[in-house]
Amino acid sequence: MSIDLEYAIRKDIRNNPVIRELDTRERREIRRTIWLAVLSVGLLLFAAWQNQKMVQHGMDVERWRLELAHEASANRQLRLHLETLRAPQAIEKRARALGMVPAPPADTLVIERAPAAARRGAVIAQVH
């Protein structure tokens, strides 16, 4: 005996979209968490920027110190060179190399400055 029975199984499938209610407390927590994360990242970036600026300023100061030491050394060398050029022996040596001779005492004219306390209209230099 064979019994052919057909079963009609009817499945009740609901394809209605699931609508969830908005959970305001959860949304507030998520917003608060996001704001705290943004604030934390902002503070970290600000601290890193300040640290980088401090390091950069320190490097600038050191570079300027080295430049100042170099310029002071160059200034000392130039002053020494100037003093050697101003030395009377060096001037006389260069003048003789150019063929110059000392002037005879009769052709020499000595000029002295008048005292600073002289009144206006006074002679500033006198010949002896």
CB 106 within 8 A of CB 122: no
Say if residue 123's pLDDT is above 80. no
**In the predicted model, what is the mean pLDDT of residues 5-9?**
66
Sequence-ordered alpha helix ranges (H) in the chain: 24-86, 88-97
How far apart are the C-alpha atoms of 99 and 85, rounded to whole Å? 18
**pTM check: above 0.75:** no
Between residues 18 and 95, the one the model is more confident about: 95
Which of helix, strand or coil describes residue 113?
A: strand
Q: Taking the domains of the chain in order of start, what are their residue ranges?
A: 24-98
Chain centroid offset of residue 62 CA:
10
